[in-house]
């Protein structure tokens, strides 16, 4: 059976893409799913969440995502890129600065290289869910992820009233569909929200007016539990299973799986 593949994209930095990947992986794994994380961001934040920055930066390119994206990847033996983590059910293809040179603008001009990640993902059978964490731009690392995945999820912090940034993200999704017609938008997830702030409540409402049902019901608040768990190198559902942060992450994981199951059912009926 092929895995459900989801990339987390937004060119806005710091909106919680890596944090959601990290903590969602824990929630999925706790329900017995086998999760592969692909760190498609040369910043390597997601990888550092598991292994620390020193270890991750010292990884040679052949053990990182750079081996999947590099034109000379053929000799590397792609499966070596998949590393175990300290948690059952969570594996990761880590990234570090070796992939920075590969994250070029105008990725649509790179020919067959656009499918490099797709080929890798299509060959994997050992995972139920694959989450791809993307950098805060729409260059090659994000493009390859959109070409490789069935779904994209857009984390949005409720702060910027302008929808300009999101429009560009949606244009990129449309463009990626030319190569990957199966790419669907799972939706927007409001992140880092503080419901005490009027501006946050107002932005969330505006987002729901603009994007309707494609804004997920689950909202991820700004909770220190997410940061503390990350600092302890544990997804929050493992570090603080009874915390509100863990409960909401679980709720998000269920909403995502329900959404995908419903969509698959509709496709079947049609
Ligand atoms: N819901 C949250 N509550 C508290 N802290 C959060 C939350 N989401 C993210 N953070 C923290 O905010 C910082 C930025 O988050 P994160 O790295 O996930 O953003 P990002 O979108 O991946 O950034 P980039 O675009 O640079 O990759 C991190 O320190 C992270 O731990
Ligand atoms: Mg990130």
Centre of ligand 2 from the C-alpha of residue 268, in Å: 35
In contact, 28 and 134? CB cutoff 8 Å: no
Total domain count, the chain = 1
User: How close is the Cα of 58 to the center of ligand 2, in Å?
Assistant: 19
Q: Specify the ligand 1 atom closest to the Cα of 135.
A: 27
What residues make up the domain containing 23?
4-269
| CATH number, residue 139 | 3.40.50.300
Residues 148, 132: Cα–Cα separation, whole Å? 9
Q: Is 220 in the pocket of ligand 1 (CB under 6 A)?
A: yes
Ligand nearest to C-alpha 243 = 1
pTM over 0.85: yes
pLDDT tens for each residue of the chain, 270 residues long: 689 999 999 999 999 999 999 999 999 999 999 999 999 999 999 999 999 999 999 999 999 999 998 866 554 557 789 999 999 999 999 999 999 999 999 998 888 889 999 999 998 999 999 999 999 999 999 999 999 999 999 999 998 744 568 999 999 999 999 999 999 999 999 999 999 999 999 999 999 999 999 999 999 999 999 999 999 999 999 999 999 999 999 999 999 999 999 988 877 666
- Give the span between the Cα atoms of 29 and 22, in whole angstroms: 11
**Count helices and strands in the chain by DSSP H and E runs:** 11, 7
């Amino acid at each position: 059976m092929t895995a459900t593949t989801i990339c987390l994209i937004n060119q806005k930095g710091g909106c919680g893409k890596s944090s959601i990947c990290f903590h969602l992986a824990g929630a999925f794994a706790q329900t017995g799913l086998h999760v592969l994380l692909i760190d498609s961001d040369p910043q390597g934040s997601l990888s550092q969440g598991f292994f620390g920055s020193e270890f991750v930066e010292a990884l040679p390119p052949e053990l990182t995502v750079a081996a999947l994206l590099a034109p000379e990847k053929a000799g590397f033996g792609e499966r070596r890129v998949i590393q175990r983590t300290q948690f059952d059910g969570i594996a990761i293809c880590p990234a570090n600065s070796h992939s920075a040179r590969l994250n070029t603008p105008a990725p649509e001009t790179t020919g067959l290289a656009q499918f490099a990640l797709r080929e890798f993902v299509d060959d994997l059978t050992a995972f139920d869910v694959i989450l791809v964490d993307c950098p805060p731009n729409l260059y090659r690392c994000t493009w390859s992820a959109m070409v490789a995945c069935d779904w994209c999820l857009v984390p949005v912090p409720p702060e910027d009233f302008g929808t300009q940034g999101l429009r560009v993200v949606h244009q990129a999704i449309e463009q990626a569909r030319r190569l990957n017609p199966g790419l669907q938008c799972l939706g927007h997830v409001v992140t880092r929200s503080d419901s005490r702030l009027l501006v946050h409540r107002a932005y969330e409402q505006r987002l729901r007016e603009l994007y309707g049902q494609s804004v997920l019901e689950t909202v991820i608040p700004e909770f220190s539990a997410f940061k503390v768990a990350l600092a302890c190198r544990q997804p929050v559902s493992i570090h603080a299973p009874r915390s509100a942060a863990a409960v909401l992450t679980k709720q998000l994981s269920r909403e995502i799986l329900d959404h995908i199951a419903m969509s698959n059912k509709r496709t079947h009926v049609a």
